[in-house]
């Protein structure tokens, strides 16, 4: 008796032998995988659109500030927006790297 994580848990069986706890397949059902891919695609497009909008708004605010003579107070905001854009752009590859299927 004991645990075998690769083959399922050995429960000892009782009278007729051993009973194995089933190990589920790592693949999601097809319909669920398609729905999740759709949601992730929409989220990716929304993140990209938000990043572009953020860069445009920050650029407009910087232009208005320069015209008023306030300097580049919005440069740090532009850095934050660009950092968010980089995070959105690299989220997929980072997750793929962390949860890579080595089998």
Q: Which of 70, 72, 74 is nearest to 56 (CA)?
A: 74
- pLDDT score for 12: 54
Please name the residues in contact with 71: beta carbons below 8 A apart, sequence gap of 6 or more: 65
pLDDT in tens, 14-43: 555 566 777 777 777 788 888 888 998 898
Query: What per-residue confidence (pLDDT) applies to 11?
Result: 53
Given this model, what pLDDT does residue 101 score? Answer: 67
pLDDT confidence of residue 1: 46
pTM beyond 0.85: the answer is no
Q: What are phi and psi of 8, to 5 degrees?
A: 105, 170
């Amino acid at each position: 008796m004991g645990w075998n994580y690769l083959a399922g848990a050995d429960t000892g069986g009782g009278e007729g032998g051993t009973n194995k706890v089933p190990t589920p397949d790592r693949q999601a059902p097809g319909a669920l995988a398609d729905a999740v891919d759709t949601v992730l695609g929409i989220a990716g497009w929304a993140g990209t659109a938000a990043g572009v909008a953020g860069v445009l708004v920050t650029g407009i605010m910087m232009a208005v500030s320069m015209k008023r003579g306030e300097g580049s107070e919005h440069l740090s905001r532009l850095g934050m927006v660009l950092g968010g854009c980089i995070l959105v752009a690299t989220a997929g590859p980072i997750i793929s790297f962390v949860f890579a299927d080595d089998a």
